[in-house]
Structure 1
Amino acid sequence: MKDNQFTQKSTTITTLTNEKPKSIVLFGSESSGKSTLTNELSNYYKVFSNPEFSRLYLDTKMKYANYEDTNSLIFEDVEPIAIGQLCSENQIENLAIAHYHSFYFLDTNLLTTYIYSKYIYKKVPFWLDKAIQNQNYSYYLLLKPNTKWEFDKQRGGDEGRQFFYKKMKEELESRNISYSEITELNEKRAKEAIKIIDFLLK
């Protein structure tokens, strides 16, 4: 991998001056391999990554508030999820700054929260769109949901993930957001993502 201002090679850290670290978003519907790929990329580039806050939120609700699964969530849950996601994104950016990393990965982001709220509840918190604009995400990797769907209580089903994949793609295009789609499977998936990221880093 070539040295450049956007990343680091091996354990050598590239220091930036008066420049915020870049954010690369792993974007996609449920059970599309975002968390796995985020961890693989974070380990490969030796930079920080941020987990999806909504999973932590629902884990807590399931443990302490008798929420049975993702269907138990209501619109009133959207705002605390969005706030938690926003805070976690800002925290990981601060960690990247403190360690002189020039970029970091996000396993989903505020736009994910916006889309799910928009289509499930037909409304979104009034401040959310402005917050998305202020986060100024650098680049998106959209994961095609061609992985095997795996059940857990935080997921709806394969039909739902296909629906939201289409809506996420539409949202990126309607907002004129630059993205690349990840379509490979298994060990080829990380290689495809690395090839795209290395191209961006030239």
Structure 2
Amino acid sequence: MQQLKKIVIIGPESTGKSTLCEQLANHYQTIWCREYAREYLLKHGTNYTYDNLLTIAKGQIELEDKAAASVLEHAAPTVTVGSPLLFIDTNMYVMKVWCEFVFDKCHQWIIEQIINRHYDLYLLCNTDLPWVKDELREYPDLETRERLYHIYKDIMINQNTPWADISGDYNERFEKAKEAVERDLKFEI
């Protein structure tokens, strides 16, 4: 059985994470795992509680596991380059930051998922894209977004999985992300 490579795209809101996931999945002819929080908040509203964040975290893990199973089920060794890839929009680091930033505490279950789940590469999206308003986003001010970015960067620096800072316009981000995937996952394209 082939080894699935999981690439997580993280960063503050409105930094192009979903767009980048979709671009990368299309480029590498695979699927991507969407952010469960968007689906949840659109259905239940944006007046969330600390306990809702645990529900969202569990939904994210469920979506990720389903996406991983789907990639492995449909990956053909003769078609894929290297290993099958899964691009993931958000993971438990994002849930941890969200919990701590809003509620000054984090669910133990989220911490356990951070400890026990394995990823192969992180792509940290910087705040240099223009803010795009939508009904779910909470932090339009650049100061808060940059503060969140630096929280994520500190996490990246202090963990062992390879990571890359992704900045620039949408095309530059895509090129930097492809370069990181091919460099850090040692693909020969």
Match of 1:163 among 147, 165, 185: 147
Q: Give, as a single letter, the amino acid of the residue that structure 1 aligns with 2:53.
A: V
Residue 184 of structure 1: how far off its partner (Å): 2.1
**Which residue of structure 2 lines up, in the alignment, with residue 77 of structure 1?**
52
Q: Give, as a single letter, the amino acid of the residue that structure 2 aligns with 1:171.
A: I
Question: SS at the partner of 2:62?
Answer: helix
* Aligned-pair identity (%): 27
Q: Aligned-pair RMSD on alpha carbons?
A: 1.4
Q: Give, as a single letter, the amino acid of the residue that structure 2 aligns with 1:166.
A: H
TM-score, normalized by length of structure 2? 0.88
Residue 153 of structure 1: how far off its partner (Å): 2.2
Residue 177 of structure 1: how far off its partner (Å): 3.5
**1:103-137 Cα shifts (integer Å, max 9, x gaps):** 11001112111111022111111121111222211
Match of 1:128 among 88, 95, 110: 110
The answer as to 2:102 corresponding to 1:145 is no
Query: Would you identify which runs of 4 or more consecutive aligned residues in structure 1 move more than 4 Å?
Result: none
Taking the TM superposition and a 5 Å limit, the aligned residue runs for 1:43-192 are 43-62=26-45, 69=46, 72-100=47-75, 102-156=84-138, 157-158=140-141, 159-192=143-176
Residue 188 of structure 1: how far off its partner (Å): 2.0
CA distance in 1, matches of 2:40, 2:179: 33
Q: How many residue pairs end up in the alignment? A: 177
CA distance in 1, matches of 2:163, 2:31: 20
Question: SS at the partner of 1:148?
Answer: coil
Structure 2, gaps ≥5 residues long:
none
Structure 1, gaps ≥5 residues long:
1-16, 63-68
CA distance in 1, matches of 2:18, 2:67: 16
**Which residue of structure 2 lines up, in the alignment, with residue 9 of structure 1?**
none
TM-score, normalized by length of structure 1? 0.82
Residue 74 of structure 1: how far off its partner (Å): 1.5
Mark the structure with the bigger radius of gyration.
1
**Which residue of structure 2 lines up, in the alignment, with residue 198 of structure 1?**
182
